[in-house]
Structure 1
Amino acid sequence: MSLLTLAVSMPSLKPHPCLDANAEHCKQTSRLQLAVFFTALYILALGTGGTKPNISTIGADQFDDFHPEEKAQKLSFFNWWMFSIFFGTLFATTTLVYIQENVGWSLGYGIPTVGLAIAILIFAAGTPFYRHKLPTGSPFIRMAKVIVATAWNWRQPLPYDPRQLHELQLEEYTKQGTFRIDSTPSLRFLNKAAIRTGSTHPWKLCSVTQVEETKQMLRMIPILICTFIPSTMLSQAQTLFIKQGRTLDRSVGSHFQIPPASLTAFVTISMLVSVIIYDRFFVKIMQRLTNNPRGITMLQRLGIGMILHILIMTIASLVERHRLHVARKNGLEKNEEQLPLTIFTLLPQFMLVGVADAFSEVAKIEFFYDQAPESMKSLGTSYSMTSLGIGNFLSSFLLSTVSHLTKKHGNGWINNNLNASHLDYYYGFLAVLSTINFFLFLLMSKMYVYKAEVSDSIKVLTDKLKASNLNEKSAMTRGRADEGRGPLPPFNLF
Structure 2
Amino acid sequence: MEVEEHQSNIWEGYVDWRNKPALRNRHGGMLAASFVLGVEILENLAYLANASNLVLYMRHYMHFSPSQSANNVTNFMGTAFLLALLGGFLSDTFFTSYHIFLTSAVLEFLGLNILTIQARSPTLKPPECDQQVNSICQQVEGGKAAILFTGLYLVALGVGGIKGSLPSHGAEQFDASTPRGRKQISTFFNYYVFCLACGALIAVTFVVWVEDNKGWEWGFAISTISIFVSIPVFLAGSSSYRMKIPSESPLTTIFKVVVAASLNSCIHRNPSGAVVNMVPSPPSNPNTTSREEEATEEEIKAVIETETPSESLKFLNNALTNKPIHPSLECTAQQVEDVKVVVKMLPIFACTIMLNCCLAQLSTFSVQQAATMNTKLGSLKFPPASLPVFPVLCIMILAPIYDHIIIPFARKATRTEMGISHLQRIGIGLVLSTIAMAVAALVEVKRKRVAIESGLFNETSNNKPLPITFFWIALQYLFLGSADLFSLAGLLEFFFTEAPIKMRSLATSLSWASLAMGYYLSSVIVSVVNSVTGSSTHTSWLSGSNLNHHHLESFYWLMCVLNGLNFVIYLFWASRYKYRASGRSSE
TM-score by length of 2: 0.72
Is this contact kept in 2: 1:365–1:384, CA < 8 A?
yes
Query: In the alignment, is the contact (CA less than 8 A) between 1:247 and 1:336 conserved in 2?
Result: no
2:541 pairs, out of 395, 413, 420, with: 413
Establish whether residue 227 from structure 1 lines up as the match of residue 367 from structure 2: no
Distance in 2, Cα, partners of 1:315 & 1:243: 16
Match of 1:290 in 2: 414
What is the aligned counterpart of 1:40 among 135, 139, 151? 151
Correspondence 1:95 to 2:206: yes
Q: Which of 435, 442, 445 is matched with 2:564 structurally?
A: 435
Distance 1:417 1:190 in 2: 55
Structure 1 counterpart of 2:327, one-letter code:
H
Query: How far has the Cα of 1:232 moved from its partner?
Result: 0.2
Give the letter aligned to residue 133 of structure 1. Answer: K
SS in 2 for 1:270: helix
Query: What is the CA distance between 1:198 and its match in structure 2?
Result: 6.2
Q: 2:314, 2:277 → 1: CA distance? A: 12
2:132 and 2:466 mapped to 1: Cα distance? 23
Q: Mapping of 1:78-93 within 5 angstroms?
A: 78-93=189-204
**Matching residue of 1:125:** 236
**Shift, 1:253, TM fit:** 2.1
For 1:59, give the aligned amino acid.
Answer: G
**Residue pair 1:308, 1:352 contacting (<8 A) in 2 also:** yes
Asked if 2 retains the 8 angstrom alpha-carbon contact of 1:63 and 1:71, the reply is yes
Output the amino acid matched with 1:123. Answer: F
Structure 1's 49 and 182: CA in aligned 2 closer, same or farther, altered over 3 A? farther
Matches of 2:231 and 2:151, distance apart in 1:
19
Superposition deviation, residue 199 in structure 1: 6.2
Give the secondary structure class of the aligned counterpart of 1:367: helix
Q: State the 1:108 CA deviation.
A: 0.7
1:37-65, Cα deviation, whole Å (9 max, x unpaired): 11222222222222112110010000012
1:2-151 equivalent positions in 2, closer than 5 A: 2-20=113-131, 22=133, 25-151=136-262
Within 5 A, what are the aligned runs for 1:262-301?
262-301=386-425
Structure 1 residues 21 and 376, CA gap change in structure 2 (3 angstroms): farther
Counterpart-to-counterpart distance in 1, 2:499 and 2:204:
33
Give percent identity, aligned residues only.
35
Q: Measure, in 1, the Cα distance between the counterparts of 2:308 and 2:192.
A: 32
Query: Secondary structure in 2 aligned to 1:432?
Result: helix
- Inter-CA distance 87–382: structure 2 relative to 1 (3 Å threshold): same
* Amino acid aligned to 2:577: Y
Aligned partner of 1:227: which letter?
T
CA distance in 1, matches of 2:130, 2:478: 37
Normalised by the length of structure 1, the TM-score is: 0.85
User: Residue type matched to 2:220 in 1?
Assistant: Y
Does the 8 Å contact 1:284/1:295 carry over to 2?
yes
Q: CA deviation at 1:231?
A: 0.6
Match of 1:355 in 2: 482
Unpaired runs of 5+ residues, structure 2, are 1-111, 282-304
Listed as ranges, the gaps of 5+ residues in structure 1 are 166-178, 459-494
Distance in 1 separating the partners of 2:548 and 2:133: 23
Encode CA deviations 1:17-49: one digit per residue, 9 max, x unaligned: 215474663334231121111122222222222
CA 301–198 in structure 1, closer or farther in 2 if over 3 Å, else same? closer
Q: What's the Cα RMSD here?
A: 2.1
Matches within 5 A, 1:129-278: 129-154=240-265, 155-156=267-268, 157-159=273-275, 162-163=278-279, 183-197=309-323, 201-203=327-329, 205-254=330-379, 256-278=380-402
**Aligned residues, how many?**
440
The alpha carbon displacement at 1:230 in A equals 0.1
The 1-side partners of 2:563 and 2:159 are apart by 28
Q: Distance in 2 between matches of 1:366 and 1:18?
A: 49
TM alignment of 1:272-421, pairs within 5 A:
272-337=396-461, 338-408=465-535, 410-415=538-543, 416-421=545-550
| 8 Å CA contact retained: 1:158, 1:191 | no
The secondary structure found in structure 2 opposite 1:303 is: helix
What are the superposed Cα offsets for residues 81-131 of structure 1, whole Å, 9 maximum, x if unpaired? 111111101110111101100111111111121111111122233233211
Deviations 1:204-259 (A, max 9, x none): x11111111111111111111101100100010111111101000112223x2110
Q: AA paired with 1:8?
A: A
Q: CA deviation at 1:431?
A: 0.3
Specify the code of the residue in structure 1 equivalent to 2:533. Answer: T
Please state whether the residue corresponding to 1:25 is helix, strand or coil: coil
* Structure 1 residue 68, shift from structure 2 partner: 4.0
Worse-superposed segment, 189-198 or 379-388? 189-198
Distance 2:358 2:496 in 1: 23
Task: Tell me the secondary structure at the aligned position of residue 391 of structure 1.
Answer: helix
- Secondary structure of the 1:341 match is strand
Q: Is the 8 A contact 2:360 2:518 kept in 1?
A: yes
1:447-494 per-residue CA deviation (whole Å, 9 max, x = no partner) reads: 21211269xxx9xxxxxxxxxxxxxxxxxxxxxxxxxxxxxxxxxxxx
Tell me how far apart the structure 1 counterparts of residues 501 and 487 of structure 2 sit (CA, whole Å): 23
